[in-house]
């Protein structure tokens, strides 16, 4: 079964990290993730690719995320977000 993700090869920058959703609103498409490293990264439907595409997040959910990297103007914010494997 294929799942539409809107994520294409090479689109998500850098490495993937794990964290927990601290804040979520707008159906789970706007909010913040506290990474396992203790840093907070923000996500927004306008610039974050969600996988699966049609699924937002919820507070307390464990996720995998890939932040934008410098010199991108959104450096540190979440570029790609996906539920973390159990």
Q: Are 41 and 65 in contact (CB under 8 A)?
A: yes
What was the pLDDT predicted at 85?
78
| This prediction's pTM | 0.84
What was the pLDDT predicted at 17?
95
Q: What are the average pLDDT values for consecutive 10-residue runs of the chain, which has 86 residues?
A: 47 86 97 97 94 91 94 92 85
Whether the upstream peptide bond of residue 83 has omega within 30° of 0, thus cis, is no
What was the pLDDT predicted at 52?
87
What was the pLDDT predicted at 63?
97
What was the pLDDT predicted at 72?
87
Q: Are 79 and 52 in contact (CB under 8 A)?
A: no
Which sign, positive or negative, has the C-alpha torsion 31, 71, 47, 62?
A: negative
Q: Are 45 and 57 in contact (CB under 8 A)?
A: no
Q: Which two tokens stand for residue 56?
A: 């937002």
CATH topology of domain 17-83: OB fold (Dihydrolipoamide Acetyltransferase, E2P) (2.40.50)
What was the pLDDT predicted at 9?
45
What was the pLDDT predicted at 75?
92
Q: Are 30 and 57 in contact (CB under 8 A)?
A: no
């Amino acid at each position: 079964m294929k799942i539409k993700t809107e994520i294409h090869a090479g689109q998500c920058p850098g490495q993937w990290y794990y964290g927990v959703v601290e804040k979520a609103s707008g159906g789970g498409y706007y909010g913040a993730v506290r990474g396992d490293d203790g840093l907070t990264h923000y996500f927004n439907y306008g610039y974050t690719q969600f996988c699966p595409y049609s699924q937002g997040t919820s507070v307390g959910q464990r996720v995998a995320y890939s932040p934008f990297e410098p010199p991108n103007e959104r450096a540190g914010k979440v570029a790609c977000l996906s539920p973390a494997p159990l």
